Structure 1
Amino acid sequence: MKSELLLLLSLVFFSCGKNETLDVSSPDAKNKIHFSINEKGNVFYEIQSVGRPVLSKSVMGFTLKKTDLSEGFEVLSSSTTTHSSVWETVWGKHQTITNHYNELTLHLKQKQSGILLDLIARAYDDGIAFRYVFPEQEGLKEFIIMDEKTEFNFAGDYKAWWNFADYDNYEKEYYNSPITSIGDTVNFARRPDKEERANMCNTPLTIEVSDDLVISIHEADLTDYAGMNLLNQKNGPNLKAHLTPWMNGDLVRAKTPFQSPWRTVQIGENAGDLVESNLIMNLNPPNVYKNTDWIETYTYIGIWWELHIGKTSWAEKTQFGKPLPKTRPHGATTENAKYHIDFASEHGIKDVLIEGWDKGWDDMTGSWTGYGIFDWSTSTSDFDIQEVCDYAKKKGVRMMMYHETISDIDHYEPRMDTLFKMCRDLGIKTVKVGYTGDVNYDYDKNTYRQHHHGQYMVRHYKKMIQTAGKHELLIVNHEPIKFTGEQRTYPNIMAREGVRGQEYNAWSKGNSPEHGVVLPFTRILGGPIDFTPGIFEVMLPQRKWAKFEIRVRTTVAKQLAYYLTMFSPIQMLADLPENYKGKPAFEFLKNVPTNWSETKVLNAKIGDYYTVARKERGTDNWYLGSITDENTRQLTVKLDFLDPDKTYEATIYADGKDADWVTNPYPVEISKKKVTSKDKLDIKLATSGGQAIAFIAQ
């Protein structure tokens, strides 16, 4: 007891010293965050990994509307704790997750204003995180953040993988460059976009520090705050937090007690370590639902791809002010829905997504925006939602609801509770909610009133998830805010698009062969995506207006491998049903799991290749996906992830002879062989090719 008291007194004395310096290290002692305060009371942090600088001395603080909180701070006290626990996911890439960290809390006071501000830092074996906390206090009640000053000052001008920041859209191409070239609109904007922010990027931002050190900058537990972008300050490899604003320039409107999201730095020896990391989810609160039996993972088909490739239309009679041509009729008819339901029932597929079933599509004119034009509960004249849902139930299938809000939050949010109750009454399990267009756009005033990634929409998305949970519904979002690990707290938020996904291949120059081997180490680090893989007919109908070739820039085998590499608990079999009929490779899509107990990255190089193995939850079966960029690859993988006491039958779906994404994308060679954990496999990948393997325990 005496020794503990002496230790406590020495800690208090040390933490009250002038020019205070405090730090905390990860349980394995490899990762360390170090704080310091200079004579002016400016607060700084720096991060090291295995003794090497990752982030050099970096500024912290805020500017409030009435107060500058960037200097004049003193340390009142500090404390450290250690936490270690194990929790189980409802679904995910791992069944059990260890949450083990050392935590430092630094209590600060600004001398002039008397405002109290806490810094909390957590050091994990797979990274560092810190957040700001404004405790309840007499001197600060309600306040507005006008600037978050957090900087990320890198020790060198390392190679970065980034895409342009945009207050309303995350569906961007990825680039790689030195940190000092991030957001360079002159050299990297292949298609100039008025919404792309010069010298700014989204998060996650992934940085290759060296051959044995890779990091990713992101945020966790984004709650009642504005989404963070990163501003290239052009004064060296130095980035600064740049929050998405309200339309009047406010960044965050708050009242004490209040806390920021975690600022996260995932750290790994290689890119695969970032994929296997659970840092982002560990920083979110535990699951709020006592009963999760209603939450499930699965694959689905739908009336979707045919809309994008121009076979049918979302609208019933007119779209964007023009009559529908006879060559492109309405897609969401009762007859077409039953055709898809029959196919799903025959092949054991649980859900059929139906887009364009409701009133409102005919009323859009000129763009994907609208104000008060959608009903969300009334069917078009050629679609009977009750009949379709009843028919699906008889076939052991469900309709997946689609609500395209056109970002008309003023009208959609007040109706969510009623609409979600309607869905549950119809036997619907999952609602896909889209947010194309400008938030609360008003045609009459020719203006919109919010940004997608600001505090207003962060609040909306949380309310939507909570309302869906009340009715035991699952949510898939398109045009969303980014994932920051909230699927731990609300495991009914299954997937968020927020990515330049498959549909871009249907009506634009498409996604490059490299795109698929960048996403696992960038966007997907935030959380699962709805990428909509599984296109077998990769050569698409050409559009009269297009001055470029419209097609999918992969082999068919790579589309199979995407079900392992593009992590999601709800995966779409995106192609038309008729394109799957008679195709042996379709067996893989019918049987591929969507929930995993283990994930192991076998090899990875950002932008080049990626091989991942995942163990099916509840069985001893494993599945492997391997993909490459525009180059052919021959990779050798050890099968030591398999159970050493079992023999497996491996069914291999590989790029066939002479497969090439440009000239011959279709061949898929299917073979079987017996393997054990002592074996190795040679994986041969065609240009923009892939390989998918099912290891079934015998």
Structure 2
Amino acid sequence: MKKLLYLLLFIFVVSCATNKKYASSLESPNEQNKFEFDLNESGQLFYTVNHGDLQFITKSALGFELKTKSLKQGFEILASETRSNDSEWTTVWGQSEKVRDHYNELTIHLKQSKTGLLLDVVARAYDDGVAFRYVFPKQNNLADFIIVDELTEFTFADDYKAWWNFADYDNYEKVYYNSPISAVGDSLNFERRPDKEERANMANTPTTIEVNDKLVISIHEADLTDYAGMNLLNTHNGVQLKAHLTPWKNCDLVRAKAPFQTPWRTIQISENAGGLVESDLIMNLNPPVAYENTDWIETYKYIGIWWELHIGKTAWAEKTQFGKPISHPHGATTENAKKHIDFAAKHGVPDVLIEGWDKGWDNMEGSWTGYGIFDWKTSTDDFDIKEVCRYGKEKGVRMMMYHETISDIDHYEPAMDELYQMCSDLGIKTVKMGYTGDVNYDYDTKTYKQHHHGQYMVRHYKKMVQTAAKYKLMIVNHEPIKFTGEQRTYPNLMAREGVRGQEYNAWSKGNSPEHGVVLPFTRILGGPIDYTPGIFKMFLPEKPWSKDTFRVRSTICKQLAYYLTMYSPMPMAADLPENYEGVPAFQFIKDVPTDWSNSKVLHAKIGDYYTVVRQERGTDNWYLGSITDENARVLSTDLSFLAKGKKYEATIYADGKGADWKTNPEVVEIKKMQVTSESKMDLVLAAGGGQAIQFKLIK
């Protein structure tokens, strides 16, 4: 009898061990978003995502192919862990002062039976989305390794409507399209630039998807600091997008050493498009600020020698530009810089950006590439950098340094300490860097070494901003890797272009009126944009090298509203100083703040219209920006965001009578009225137009 009892007890213990259950799902704090893991019979891990009762991402694979091993299947679950977090952190600058970081987390610990390799997958569920990342623990049988494929899938329940642009390993400056998911990257029906590396059947992230009238999601990544940028491949396997990483030149995707963790794969979730804009998911998934002291970091507006270069009034170079003689004068002269400094001092603008001040522009050949041709320390013959900085200091204005690296990282990166020390010595606060051209291009061999969006350059951008911080410099990047929320960790990284920006209006067919009402729900979800708004002269000078007519496809009021809708803590007043002088609408650019304590989206429909209000940090003053596409609109708006029981003076900058982006874009009507939180108003937007309002507390 005793032996029988021992036998039954042994069977019970073995049965419990064999059938041990592990947590496999988690819900957001509000119980609306659900993330669930599933391990199939072959030991491959999958996941699904629900919002409420709707499973909009169905069974989707996870895993990797390494150069020497497959991490696709054969896994067993060793254990699982759950935890929750509800905390609050303060931004150094941003769209909000306080950010709540509230989530539930599940970690699945996996072991591949055949190889003994260990892999963890960590998932988090927030009220505004879900995210997951892979973690390679330290282990004896996996030291250095190379990823040759990430198997992550996003398989959708239906062919929802997507907003996307073509992926490109080197450039994010793209037109956005909308189509069913099944047509993402369809180069037969959407215009793809054949002269560039725009990838057929592949989209950049963020890619935003309208599931239905009450659910909008966006797929992106967070904390991209030592990995390859993720693109989305249309597999044409139903409605499925798959992670496709930007490679090193030898086709490695990621070079790593355990312990190692990937960026987060993020899915922002909202019941309306405005909720995506208000989401803090991407920033919350980045580490806290890396600096003990951030008092030296500030936000402000700037002007510069920039737009005149793009419209052809002046040139970057002195004699030859892009391999051809130039007929227009060099822009970055000491005299021209002082004129800009005088304007900035008169209107209270702290910085003047100066492009084309250094040696090297004359040496550039037919494209923005080169190897060792720039001298970032030496001024051109007609520009005295010490005199310009001295004159600026006398006027209370700084020079904003511009470094066009032309992606010559082999020469730029070793020089960064010396260059940034030079900036600090000159009293310069911000450096804007351009990364045009192929990475480390060599004219002799006609080859380039790396892609802009691969792991090599991701590492460079991190090293660059960390080095700049040693000299208390702030950074604005052009032609960069995409933003993935790292401004939380490195708040001296103020803005990144990475978008088809204002300059395209100066020398291409331009940006459509729709473009501006797509960007807040796509590109800007990753982080601040350097769109260079504020153009007042919409009809541009004729170009001697072209028969085409170039112009800006917006009204002046839409340009004003961009200071709210195209979020940046360091926006430019991009037009020529003479186009602002004596123009009443310029007052809004002077008044609009650059740092906010609260932001709310009042109206939002992707590609159609967008209205946002922001509260100036440290005050009760609010500002409103509203923009539309090519269609005129009237948007009824209540002002309940204003402080209750208080009166405000509203200064309204509206499209004037007969305004239209095509025929009459520069007419502005300015009026004032008293309002309270109980007031309502109609925002009347012209075709391609906008409206900007200052709500100033009456004390």
TM-score (norm 2): 0.97
User: In the alignment, residue 329 of structure 2 is paired with which amino acid?
Assistant: P
Structure 2 residue 629 is the aligned partner of structure 1 residue 629: yes
Measured against aligned partners, the alpha-carbon deviations of 1:360-413 in whole angstroms (never above 9, x if no partner) come to 001111111010000101000000000000000000000000000000000000
How has the CA–CA distance of structure 1 residues 621 and 139 changed in structure 2, closer, same or farther, with 3 Å as cutoff? same
Task: For residue 673 of structure 1, give the secondary structure of its aligned residue in structure 2.
Answer: strand
**In the superposition, relative to structure 1, how do residues 353 and 14 fare at CA in structure 2: closer, same or farther (>3 Å)?**
farther
Match of 1:181 among 180, 183, 196: 183
How many Å separate the matches in 1 of 2:17 and 2:294?
44
In the TM superposition, residue 542 of structure 1 has moved relative to its aligned partner by: 2.0
Report the alpha carbon displacement of residue 139 of structure 1 after superposing the two structures with TM.
1.1
Q: Deviations over 1:273-332 (max 9, x none)?
A: 00000000000000011111100000000000000000000001222233321xx10000
User: Once the 2 structures are TM-superposed, how far is the Cα of residue 20 of structure 1 from its aligned partner?
Assistant: 6.3
**Preserved contact between residue 140 and residue 256 of structure 1 (Cα < 8 Å):** yes
1:5 alignment partner in structure 2? none
Q: What runs of 5+ residues in structure 2 fail to find an aligned partner? A: 1-13
Alpha-carbon contact 1:632-1:687 (below 8 Å) kept: yes
Matches of 1:355 and 1:17 in 2, distance apart? Answer: 67
Q: Does 1:99 align with 2:97?
A: no
From the superposition, tell whether residues 521 and 16 of structure 1 become closer, same or farther in structure 2 (CA, over 3 Å). farther
Query: What is the identity, as a one-letter code, of the residue corresponding to 1:254?
Result: A
Which one-letter code corresponds to 2:624 in the other structure? Answer: L
Give the letter for the 1:166 counterpart: D
> In 2, distance between residues paired with 1:139 and 1:222?
26
Instruction: Flag the 1:191–1:254 CA change in 2: closer, same or farther, 3 A.
Output: closer
AA in 1 matched with 2:171: N
Query: Partner residue of 1:3?
Result: none
* Partner residue in 2 for 1:313: 315
Q: Work out the CA distance in 1 between the residues paired with 2:481 and 2:69.
A: 29
Give the Å deviation of 1:18. 7.3
CA–CA distance in 1 between the matches of 2:41 and 2:298?
55
AA matched with 2:230 = M
C-alpha contact (below 8 Å) 1:650/1:695 kept by paired residues: yes
Percent identity, aligned pairs only?
A: 72
Q: Which residue of 2 aligns with 1:511?
A: 511
1:353 equivalent in structure 2: 353
Structure 1 residue 497 and structure 2 residue 473: aligned?
no
Inter-partner Cα distance in structure 2 for 1:126 and 1:30 = 9
Matched, 1:520 2:495: no
State how far apart, in whole Å, the 2-side matches of 1:13 and 1:514 are. 62
Residue 86 of structure 2 aligns with which residue?
84
Aligned with residue 140 of structure 2, among 129, 138, 141: 138
1:323 corresponding residue in structure 2: 325
Name the SS for the 2:387 alignment partner. Answer: helix
CA distance in 2, matches of 1:691, 1:523: 22
Q: What corresponds to 1:44 in structure 2?
A: 46
Find the residue that maps to 2:189 and give its secondary structure: helix
CA distance in 2, matches of 1:51, 1:34: 13
1:521-600 maps to which residues of 2 (within 5 A)?
521-600=521-600
Q: What does residue 427 of structure 2 align with?
A: 427
Who is 1:214 aligned against? Answer: 216
Partner of 1:379: 379
- Per the TM alignment, residue 194 of structure 1 is displaced from its structure 2 partner at its CA by 3.4
Of 257, 276, 291, the match for 1:274: 276
DSSP 3-state at the match of 1:157: coil
Q: Hey, what's the Cα distance between the residues in 2 that align with 1:304 and 1:490?
A: 26
- Mapped to 2, the partners of 1:337 and 1:37 lie a distance apart of 64
Letter in 1 for 2:307: W
Q: Provide the rounded CA distance (Å) in 2 between the counterparts of 1:482 and 1:52.
A: 31
Is this contact kept in 2: 1:580–1:586, CA < 8 A? yes
Change (3 A) 1:432 1:112: same
Residue 543 of structure 1 aligns with an amino acid whose one-letter code is: K
CA distance in 2, matches of 1:631, 1:311: 32
Matched residue, 1:160: 162
Deviation at 1:21, TM superposition (A): 6.6
Amino acid at match of 2:693: I
Deviates more, 1:411-420 or 1:311-320: 311-320
Instruction: Provide the C-alpha distance between the structure 2 equivalents of 1:676 and 1:605, rounded to a whole number of angstroms.
Output: 26
CA contact (8 A) 1:15 1:75 kept: no
Whether the aligned pair in 1 keeps the contact of 2:166 and 2:192 (CA below 8 Å) is no
Q: CA RMSD in A?
A: 1.4
Question: 1:547 Cα shift?
Answer: 4.4
Q: Distance in 2 between matches of 1:547 and 1:384?
A: 37
- The structural deviation recorded for 1:648 is 0.4
> How far 1:190 moved relative to its partner?
5.7
Q: Distance in 2 between matches of 1:634 and 1:281?
A: 34
The one-letter amino acid of 2:692's match is A
When normalised by structure 1's length, the TM-score is: 0.97
Shift of 1:15: 9.9
In 1, distance between residues paired with 2:18 and 2:387?
A: 71
Maintained 8 Å contact 1:20/1:37: no
CA contact (8 A) 1:21 1:36 kept: no
Deviations 1:474-505 (A, max 9, x none): 00000000000000000000000000000000
Contact 1:203 / 1:218 at 8 angstroms: preserved in 2? yes
Partner of 1:228: 230
Amino acid at match of 2:500: R
Aligned residue type for 1:329: P
1:54 corresponding residue in structure 2: 56
Aligned with 2:359: secondary structure? coil
Counterpart secondary structure, 1:441? coil
Is 1:297 the counterpart of 2:299 in the alignment? yes
Q: Secondary structure at the match of 2:407?
A: coil
SS of corresponding position for 1:377 = strand
Given residue 175 of structure 1, which amino acid in structure 2 is its aligned partner?
Y
Q: Distance in 2 between matches of 1:388 and 1:581?
A: 22
Amino acid in the other structure paired with 1:395: K
1:653 paired with 2:653, answer: yes
Q: Tell me the amino acid that sits aligned with residue 593 of structure 1.
A: P
Deviates more, 1:132-141 or 1:186-195: 186-195
3-state SS of the aligned residue for 1:529? coil
CA distance in 2, matches of 1:462, 1:382: 34
Shift in Å, 1:557:
0.7
Deviation string 1:126-177 (CA, Å, 9 cap, x unpaired) is 0000000000000101100000000000111000000000000000000000
Secondary structure at the aligned position of 1:549 is classed as coil
Provide the C-alpha distance between the structure 1 equivalents of 2:505 and 2:427, rounded to a whole number of angstroms: 33
Q: What amino acid is aligned across from residue 320 of structure 1 in structure 2?
A: F
Superposed, which structure 2 residues align to 1:365-514 within 5 Å? 365-514=365-514
SS at 2:564 equivalent: helix
Letter of the 1:530 counterpart: D
Secondary structure of the 2:349 match is coil
Structure 2 residue 600 is the aligned partner of structure 1 residue 613 = no
Deviations along 1:597-641, one digit per CA (max 9) or x if unpaired, are: 001000100000000000000110000000000000000111000
